[in-house]
Structures are given as structure tokens and as C-alpha cells.
Structure 1
Amino acid sequence: MQMVNVEIHQLQNCNNISGINRPRMSKRGSQLPSARMVSLEIHRPYYRSDSKFSVMLAIWGQFLDHDITATALNKKLNGSSISCCQENLIRSPECFPVFLEQSDPFAQFNVTCMEFVRAAASPKCCLGPREQMNQATAFIDGSVIYGVDESLVNSLRTMSRGLLKMIVTKNNKTLLPLSEDMNDGCNREEEKRKGKYCFATGDSRANENLHLTSMHLIWARQHNLLANTLFELNPHWSDEVIFQETRKIIGAQMQHITYNEFLPIIIGRELMKRHHLLPIVNNNFSIYNESVDPSIANEFASSVFRFAHTLIPGIVKLLRNDTSSPEFIQMRKMLFDPFNLYDEGQLDGTLKGAINSSIESSDQYFSDELKSHLFERKNDPLSVICGLDLVSLNIQRGRDHGLAGYTSWKEFCGLGKSTSFNDLTFIMDPSSLNNIRAVYRDVEDIDLYTGGLSEKPLKENLLGPTFTCLILDQFKRLKFGDRFWYENPKVFTLTQLNEIRKTSLAGIICSNSDNIGTIQPLVMESWKDQNRDVSCLKIPSPNLSMWKESLEHMNIPTNKFNVKVIT
């Protein structure tokens, strides 16, 4: 298989071949096949686990994604959501619904349309291609924990000793602050009557699933753990100094986990080594380039990095300290249902279950939980029968953003030009290619999401060459284009940096779970001889004494002075 060529665009923003005024059309100028048809015919439910990696890999991927990307959706003038599938209504020009064929499994329930609202256009000072905005900061900086605007950040702070707001329950559990807005899409009246609410964090998507909410919780606890330690070391520091220094450490820890644990699995350690992406061992990183654009590329946010959805299993394990008695729950029942975190043992059970569950294989196949039961509403009979199809929505989002087709990106990555389906024979497995031929009329019509997931994975890699190329490009720019990158000179002292290098996701979980006492050192990888459970006491963690500030003492003269008062 051809080597991934990223040298040609390592300093470019990939938006230069994406973004048009309207959703992408076929090569012949006609409508592309329905995103739902593509989902049904190519991305069929098929269950094949990958025992090498744990579900924690997918959880970190989503948490990281929310730190660097957030697409803004169009809304009505009053801020309410736009509906695109209601009959007898004039459809908004910002609607781009997914229409279902008569042969669709949902058609028997009279479902003909799947809701989809176009992403808000980024304001521009002149006419030209429509581009979309990113509501998150592009940098890996912990904004998912704190928010991106000052008012939100301040609302999450206690304004004392650098701490974040938390609540303490009757059973003495420390949880995220409450979101009491009953119209936030998460809170429910039946839970409110029990005194349970969804949670407020720096990102509005935190309550989407129990795994994600748990990750938000342990990182908010991590912030307060660091802030309390810094206060003990430097009691003369102000609230603002402690908060900002703690946030700086949190961002550095997220960067280190991403490049030390997550990316070596996704794009391979050898490729990372070749492109200087692996963390430095005993020195600083000094290849910052101010000409590198670190912003998030359109194709990365709206298509490529959504590959992790294929890793999510349909059945999720919850594991208490008694590992012989696991519980299992359908993924659909974890969506917008963070209320279990109020109960004893649920946080630890959720985290340990994810660490001890295998991901689904990275391929073009998806769990039916994501294709037929996404965001079902318990009190809506039709919704219980027909949830949303995440695969259809991902494909539709790429079209909404006007992304070029798969073959354009494949060529962009130095993998050759494709003028017929036969040109894909060596890069895709036969069954995938046959299904693609049956749905798309022309090879250039293939959507990026579908084509990228259908490629054969590179050796010792989760993904095929095109997605590997585009992910590599994005994370190179995030590192080389960040002048506050944690390994850059003057961001931390070398002794402080060496302490941050002790960070691991296992250590974060050990320090901030309720009662987890043993853990695998590499939580994104499956249990094996080299990755057996060890005591949390054996997991290294940074020593914050390196942040203790030495106050310089001023020499005050002891001589006595005669003072004459002049009246």
C-alpha cells in the first residue's frame, strides 16, 4: 500500500479544497444518493470487536473532540430549534433534512424524514464560499472543562482559592454543579422530583452520555485537586493566579495524554516518531512555527474525526469492584441520562466498565444502537421505535459543509488519482467496494466519511491511509502552531515539565474516582500481560512541589532614624 504523504501539506489548512455555497452535489450535477441510503447499504450493522483496545479510547476521543471542535447550528430568532420534518409548515432555508426511501425500515412507521439543520455560516465581509465556524478554541487547552468565554468560565468558578464550583450530595459525593434549565434537552421532570438534575460544565454537550459526563467529572475534580495543592504550597497566591496556573497544568496534562497515549494508537507510534509528534523525554520541544495555522480544518471536524463513532459498542459494561458481577446496558439508555452519577458506585462502575470493555473494530460497520436508536425519548412512542441514525447525520454534515468527495482527499494525501471504482481495488476490501459501487453512480461522488472508513487499515494502525493522513496533518498543526504548547521553552520550567510528563489517564482516574484502587497503567489498551492491573499507588503522578514559589526576602535596615515632625 502506498505510504501516506503528509509532507506536501504539513503547513497548510485543508479548507482550501472544501466549502461551497450549497451542499455538495454529484459529479453530474444531480442529487447524491440519500445519506440514509448510504448508511443502510454500506454502513450496515455488523459486530466485530477489537480486543486490543478499550472503550476508554473512544471516550477520550469524544472528550478531546469537544475540546477542539463545536459546530454552531442555525436557530430561530428567539433562540429555539428549527424543525425541518413537520408537515404543513414552510421549511426554513436552513433545513437540509435526510429523506427516507419507501423501502427504509422506518417507513413502516410512516417516518419519511430525519431532522437536520444546517450549520451556521461564518460571518464574512464579502461574498464567497460559505464557511462554518468553530465555537471551541482550536487548541488543546481544557476549554471543554472551563468554557470559551469569560462569562461561562466565571459562572463555573467559586472565585476563591482557584476552585471550580462543585456540589456535595447527601451521600457525600462531589459532583459537577447543577444545570436547572428544564429546557436544556437533558433535564426531566421525573428526575427533578427526585432532586436530580443534569450538570453544568464548560461544554453544553457534557450530558450526552454517561461516559462523557464521567470524564467531565473527574477532570473538574482534578482541577480542584491541583488548585488545593497549589494553595497549600503558595498561600500568598491570589485566587486568579491559582486558577490560571491550575488551568495551565490541566491543559498540559490533556496535551500529554493525547500525544502519549491516544494518538500512538490512532495513527501509529512510528508515524508519530517520524513527524516529531511523540512527547520529548528529557528536554524542551523547540519547533514552534508561527506560520503554521493551528485552526481546525473543516473536513477534520465534520467528517474525519467522527471515525470514532464506529468504535462504540452497542452494549456497554458497568463494572463494580467485584469484577465477577458485571452489568450490561444498551448504549441508547446511557444517552442524556447522567442521573446515575448520583448513586453510590456508579462513577467507578462506569469508568471500570469502559476500561474493561473492547471497542468495535474500526471499519465501515456500525452498531444498530447508533443507526436506529440514537437519542430516543422515553415518553415519545414514535421516538422509541425510530431514533436518529448517527451515520446518516455524519454524512449529511459533510455535504452541508460542502466537503469535497473522498477521491479528492485521497489524491490530496498523495495516494493517487481515482477515475474509476477499479482504482480503489487495492485500498478497499471487496465487499465494501461492491456496496459502494451499488450506491454511488460515479467514483468521485463517494462521501469522505464513507470512503475513508471503507479503506483497509494501515499496518499497526486503526485507520486507512486517507484518514491517517488528515488526522496526522491536524495534530501536527495543533502542536507546531501552538506557541503555548506545554513542551515549548518558557511555558514550564524543565523540572515542572518533567513532572507533567508523569501524567497518565490512569493516574487522573485513580486520583479522582470515588474508590478505584487498582487500574491498568494504559487504560485505552486492553488488559494483557504487559498491562495488568496494579495498585493506584504505583501509578506515577506529578509532584507539584516544583511549583512552590520561593519568596525573596527584603533586607530591612535595623538602624534607628530620628524623625522630626514639621507642623
Structure 2
Amino acid sequence: MCVWDSGKSLIWNGISKIEFDKALQQGLEKLKEEEDAMMRSPKVLLNTPSYRHFRLVSFPENYNNISRLGQLSDELTKYFIREKPDRRFNISSVNVAENEEFKEYCRSSKSQICLHHQYRSIDGSCNNIKHPDWGTSMRPFLRLMPPEYCDGVSEPRCGSRAELPPARDVTLKLHRANYKSDHRFNFMFAVWGQFIDHDITATAITRLINGQMVSCCGSTGIDKCYPVILSEDDPIFILYNTTCMEFVRSTPAPRCTLGPREQLNQQTSFLDGSVIYGSNVELSRRLRSFQGGRMAVTVSEDGKDLLPVSIDLTDGCNREEEAAKGRYCFLAGDVRANENLHLTTLHLIMVRHHNRIASQLQQLNPKWDDERTYQETRRIVTAQVQHITYRELLVPLLGEKVMESYDLTVRTSTYSTVYDDTINPSITNNFATSSFRFAHSLLPGLMKSYENTSPDSLTLLRKIFFNPFPLYTPGSLDRILMSAVGTDVQKANRFFTTEVTQHLFEEPQNSTEPKKCGLDLVSMNIQRGRDHGLPGYPKWRVYCNLPPVKEFNDLKKFMDDESIEALQRLYKTVDDIDLYSGSLSETPLKGSILGPTATCLIAEQFRRTKFGDRFWYDANAGPHSLTSDQIREIKKTTLARIVCVNSDDVKEVPENLLLFSSISNKNVQCEHLADIDLAPWSEM
């Protein structure tokens, strides 16, 4: 707050207005210099692997001012720490919410008068009446412990005794390929995990005002750049004569009090179907038909519903040769929907599912208008997404014992979740940046072919990236679904297929342009953790109340010798081990597919997601809640049934669609799978 001192000079939290204005001016000048430098710098070429990646995670241009405020927060914090070193340890007491630059952002949610609406807001606001901004889109990730930046404010984490090993070296020496399938899980397990990850997390990076992406490998002196450096013995260096992989730092989040950098989540933190419906009003309206509560679709040549299309030829997915045939990439509630063919297929299934439910509700309630039908359908579909995630994904992922200890188990009783308005459901920074990225290790190098060929044919994983075009071919939807159901995943561990460490987002094989080298997803994950200032792996074990790690020998209790040796060759001290690499090197817990640290951090997030959501499907949290009869029907939901009734003509699937068919998970005829009864929603 601002007060007047005896000399009539305005004081801003112990800082005079004159000095604050000076800091603000210097900060704005620094931002202008950075923007000018980025405009002058080389740009990433259209439709290269790096361009595709940037378009997946780049900040929407209409939110550029939020990015600007985040950078200004950094500059103000650094100025006062530099000029007033005595303020370093209480810099968070400097409140800038009333400054003209920050006022609108800081008041945009805090000042909301939240009413007890029957339906969720699209952007997640007012889910918590006391804290309207908790879980809202375009807000900072939550920290479970303070960040560790090299300069204490914003510079990427550095080593405690020596430089951290280059992220790419960690990939090559620790996260190499070692193909061992996990025959319990099929590829749909990874696809559903990615689907719900995109529902709750989307880290943003800044792009230029004109939509271009700065080339960090071709630039110097740009704070936003943090490229991945390659050594001379790197396979990519040898094959493509390149020493650098593009990497732009995440957009800093604005802060209403000064302090270390935070990062923005573009999605709502709630498991609310925003991956289907969008997490801002503008997008959500683009996705609706405004007829009978249904979502917008396009219709294929054979009369089947497809997702609406995106005709932007610079979106990183569309190709001129496909556009010439009238085949475009698709528009969905999340910009990453086209990232791989199987993910696009799941988006399509869920939009078809929404429209199927909406049509049934209209028949039951002909007096309902479009808005009522849409909102009731959205509520049902969201409830089903929550139920599938906790019943079919998390149980095999975390194990029944962990599910029980964190109270994540789906109960047979109707109202079985107690909403707690003191729990902040916001996605934690470590979950978005590290812990839930474990699924990248599941990805196989070869997929069962979705093409109309022999049942034993296989296709490289790289062929499904940014390639939704097979969905235009009649009969392909079912083959793509069965490809995911029939392909097993790799074991969740420290090993990754070269399809994602050397060939990520590569050009299609039939491209007429010179082939450009793919990206390394693992190096980018490690680099992102450092960019976000995630503390080293041992501190997360302490957070999870696990036995502490003080030296490399301590790792022997929960890691194999080969992993420890690789880590010791890379890191000078055990304290410097990156969370991503350390947690994936642990031996899995009994009943879980992950080690204790990743299991703890994932379970902690899903506990927040469940108990911090006022609209959770089986919580009795007010008049907006589902009735007991409605909840009883929702708990009949299976992903298998949803895929069956919304595919073109799938006849048989495993009972749990995320697990490989087996004695305990037999294939079932679609007609024998229970469907939910919508009679409890009838008002006739």
C-alpha cells in the first residue's frame, strides 16, 4: 500500500515513489531493448521442427500484455535487490497491485463478486468463492517450495559447486534408448494421460508481435533465449552439423508483489474438460454450433462428423499439399490437439460424445434452450472425464495403496468427496514441468500401423506427429483407435526411444524440402525444469518425507547401480541432479509404475485437483451439485463404452481401454458394455 511520509513524499512499501518510478522506467526501457533485439534477430523458419514446437506452446498474441507485465515484474525485482540489497529477503513485501501498470491484472480476479452459479466458468474463475483466482487460466503455477534461480530472481538454475551438465549430455548418457515393453498398458494409456495433461497444464512461451519465433541459436544477448547446446560427438551434430537446439524460456507471470519469477498456466487447473471446450470465452464460442447445445463439427465426404478445421497455413500443422485437397488440421479446445494423430482422434471421439449426449438431453427436455443443453452436457462429459481419469488411469499408474493413502479412490457411494475451500487446486510447477512428463518415457518407437495393411505392419512414431490427415479417409478412425489399443508402451523409466530424442517433429518423409533434424523432447524437459528454477531432486525427496539423499551412495537404496554410475558421471554433486532425471531413475514402487518421488508428486497434485474443485462430480458442495441418481449413472462410465458408441464401427474392445487385453482385462463386445442412463436429467 502507499502512505505519505512526513516530508509529503509518497512511500511505496518503504520505497519512495520517486525511486519506484525510476525502477519502473528502467524496467520499461529494458523491455523495449529486448523487444527490439528480438525483432532484429533471425527467425525460426516456417514448418521446421522448432517452429512446430513453438506454435504448440506459444503465448496467444492477444495476451501479450500479460507477458510484458511478467517481464516487468522480473526487472523491478532485480532493480530493488540490486539497489537495496537489504530488501532481498523481504522483497515479497513490495506490493505493486495499485500501480497503474499492474492494477488491471491484479484486480481482474480479486475484485470479482462470485455468485453461486450452477455451472463452471470457462476460465475457471470463481470456482473457489473465497479465492476467485485459484485454478484460473492465465495465472501462475503453484510452488510447493521456493524456486532456485542462479541469481535468486530469474536466471535458470545453476550447479551448486560446478556447472550443470548440458541437458543434451544428460539425454545421451542417462536417457538413452533401451527398448523394454510394458505389456500391461497399451498406447491409449499414454494418449489419455496426454489428453488430461493438456486439460490442466499449458506452459506458455512468448512469440513476437507478428507471430514469428526468434531463433535463439542464431541470436545473442536475448534474455528469453536458453538454447540446448550440442557437443561435437552428438549424433545430431555429426549428421546435421548443428551445435544448438532452439529453446525459448517460458513466459514469466505477472506478480502483484515482487519476488522470484513464476510461470503462467494457460489452461484452467481444474480437470474440467477445457481440452474439449477451451479455457477462454473467445475460443469456447468458436467451438460451439449454438444449435441444440452441440459442438461445431465439419462433415467428411462419407458423412461422418470431424472436428472443425483450422485453415491457418502458418499454424505449424497445415500443409499446402493437403490444403489443396481441402484437408486441413483441426480446431479444438487445446492448440496441441494436432500434435499426434491418436490425440486428435481422442479429441474427435469426445466432441462426438458431447454431441451425442446433447442430442439425447434435447429429446428428454425439448424445452431446454441451446445454452442449458450445452452446459448440462458439458457438466456430464466433464464428470465422465474425471471418473475415467481416477478410475482407469490413476489406479494402474499410482497403485491402489497410494490411491487409498491420498484418498483418491473412487468410492461406490454417490457423494464421496468432501470439497475443501482451503485447498488450492492450482497446478504445481513441478507437476507441469517435470513429474507428469514421465509419460514421454512410455512412448514406443514403433506403432501398430493404422493404415489398411497387414495386421503385423508397423509404423515409426514420428509419422503420427502433426499428421491428422488420415482422419479424412473413410474407415480410418477405427483403424487408428485399434492401433492405439493394439500397441504396447515402453516401461516407465529413464530410457527413451530415439523417436523423441532425435526425431521429434521431423519433416514428413515425402517432403520435397531438405530434411531438417528433429528435436529432443527429453533435453527440452530437463532444460524447462532449469528454466523454471525447480530445486534439485534430493529436495523433492525431503518434501515427500522420503529417506534423504546426501551423497551418491545413498541412491543405492532405490536405484540400480547403472543409473547411479551414469548420474555420478554427469553431476558433480548429488544435490544438482535434475528432478526429471532423478525421479525417472528410481526403482518403481510396488503397485505403481513409477518410483516414490514421482508417485508422491503426482498423487499430491491429483489430491488438490479433486478436493479443491467445488464442482467435482461426486462432491455435495451446494445446489449446483449433481444429484445422487445422476452420480450413480456417471459412475457407470467407461472409456471403452465412449469409444465404442462414438467410433464409426468398432465392435470389440478391452474392458479397460487403457490396459492391454488379458485374462483380467478381456475383450468385450461393445453392445455388452453398460451405458449411462440420462433419465435422471429429465425434467419432463
Query: TM-score when scaled to structure 1?
Result: 0.92
Deviations 1:453-506 (A, max 9, x none): 000000121000000000010000111111110001251111111110011110
**CA shift for structure 1 position 317:** 0.9
Taking the aligned partners of 1:476 and 1:502, their CA distance within structure 2 comes to 22
CA distance in 2, matches of 1:476, 1:18: 22
Establish whether residue 375 from structure 1 lines up as the match of residue 375 from structure 2: no
Relative to structure 2, which stretch is displaced further, 103-112 or 464-473? 103-112
CA, structure 1 residues 209+35, in 2 after alignment: closer, same or farther (shift >3 Å)?
Answer: same
> Which residue in 1 is equivalent to 2:604?
473
1:540 is the counterpart of 2:671: no
CA contact (8 A) 2:449 2:455 kept: no
2:584 to 424, 433, 453: 453
Of 250-259 and 121-130, more deviation after overlay is shown by: 121-130
Shift of 1:127: 2.6
Maintained 8 Å contact 2:630/2:680: yes
Shift, 1:349, TM fit: 1.0
1:100 equivalent in alignment to 2:233 = no
Partner of 2:184, secondary structure, is: strand
Q: Residues 252-331 of structure 1 correspond to what in structure 2 (within 5 A)?
A: 252-318=383-449, 325-331=455-461
**Residue 167 of structure 2 is aligned to residue 35 of structure 1:** yes
Match of 1:518 among 642, 645, 652: 652
State the partner residue of 1:123. 254
- Asked whether the equivalents of residues 84 and 91 of structure 1 are also in contact (C-alpha less than 8 Å), the reply is no
Cα deviation for residue 107 of structure 1 reads 1.8
Q: Do structure 1's residue 463 and structure 2's residue 597 form an aligned pair?
A: no
Q: Deviations over 1:268-308 (max 9, x none)?
A: 01221233211121230242111001000000000110000
Deviations along 1:4-23, one digit per CA (max 9) or x if unpaired, are: xxxxxxxx954323364111
Q: CA deviation at 1:178?
A: 0.7
Contact 2:142 2:428 in 1 (8 A): yes
Residue 74 in 1 paired to residue 203 in 2? no
Q: Which moved more, 1:160-169 or 1:282-291?
A: 282-291
Question: Which among 256, 281, 284 is matched to residue 153 of structure 1?
Answer: 284
CA contact (8 A) 2:536 2:577 kept: yes
Identity %: 47
Amino acid at match of 2:159: S
Contact 1:19 1:130 in 2 (8 A): no
Shift of 1:104: 1.1
Bigger relative contact order, structure 1 or 2 (CA pairs below 8 A, ≥6 apart): 1
Which amino acid is the alignment partner of residue 230 of structure 2? L
The 3 A distance-change label for structure 1 pair 286 and 362 is closer
Matched with 1:528 is 662
Deviation at 1:177, TM superposition (A): 0.5
State yes or no: 1:187 paired with 2:321: no
Report the equivalent of 1:416. 547
1:23 matches 2:23: no
Q: Render the CA deviation track for 1:176-219: whole Å, top value 9, x for unaligned.
A: 00100011000000101111000001100000000100010000
Q: Aligned partners of 1:74, 1:65: CA distance in 2, in Å? A: 21
**SS at 2:336 equivalent:** coil
Q: Are positions 1:499 and 2:633 aligned together?
A: yes
1:369 is matched by which residue type in structure 2? Answer: E
The CA deviation at 1:91 is: 4.8
Q: Tell me the equivalent position of 1:558.
A: none
Q: Is the 8 A contact 1:457 1:464 kept in 2?
A: yes
Give the structure 1 partner of residue 185 of structure 2: 53
Report if the CA contact (8 A) 1:318-1:354 is conserved.
no
Structure 2 counterpart of 1:352, from 482, 491, 504: 482
Identify which of 457, 463, 466 aligns with 1:333.
463
Instruction: Report the Cα distance in structure 1 between the residues aligned to 2:200 and 2:512, rounded to whole angstroms.
Output: 33
- 2:334 equivalent in structure 1: 203
Q: In structure 1, how many angstroms separate the alpha carbons of the residues matched to 2:377 and 2:441?
A: 35
User: CA–CA distance in 1 between the matches of 2:417 and 2:656?
Assistant: 28
Partners of 2:283 and 2:317 lie apart in 1 by 19
Separation in 2, partners of 1:286, 1:368 = 42
Q: TM-score, normalised by structure 2?
A: 0.76
Q: State the AA in 1 paired with 2:581.
A: T
Output the CA distance in 2 between the equivalents of 1:156 and 1:299: 31
- The change in CA–CA distance for 1:365 and 1:372 in structure 2 (over 3 A counts) is same
Amino acid paired to 1:417: P
Q: Which amino acid aligns with 2:293?
A: G
Q: CA deviation at 1:424?
A: 0.5
Letter of the 1:59 counterpart: V
Corresponding residue of 1:225: 356
Query: Which residue is 1:561 aligned to?
Result: none
Extract unaligned runs of 5+ from structure 1.
Answer: 1-11, 551-567
Q: Which stretches in structure 2 are left out of the alignment for 5+ residues?
A: 1-140
Distance 1:125 1:383 in 2: 46
Instruction: Provide the rounded CA distance (Å) in 2 between the counterparts of 1:304 and 1:529.
Output: 31
State the secondary structure of the residue aligned to 1:395: helix
SS at match of 2:213: coil
| 8 Å CA contact retained: 2:425, 2:612 | yes
Q: Which amino acid aligns with 2:215?
A: S
SS in 2 for 1:364: coil
RMSD: 1.6
Three-state SS of the structure 2 residue aligned to 1:529 is coil
Cα separation, 1, equivalents of 2:360 and 2:666: 30
Aligned to 1:549: 683
CA contact (8 A) 1:320 1:352 kept: no
C-alpha contact (below 8 Å) 2:147/2:260 kept by paired residues: no
SS in 2 for 1:15: coil
Farther off after superposition, 222-231 or 121-130: 121-130
Measure, in 1, the Cα distance between the counterparts of 2:653 and 2:187.
Answer: 15
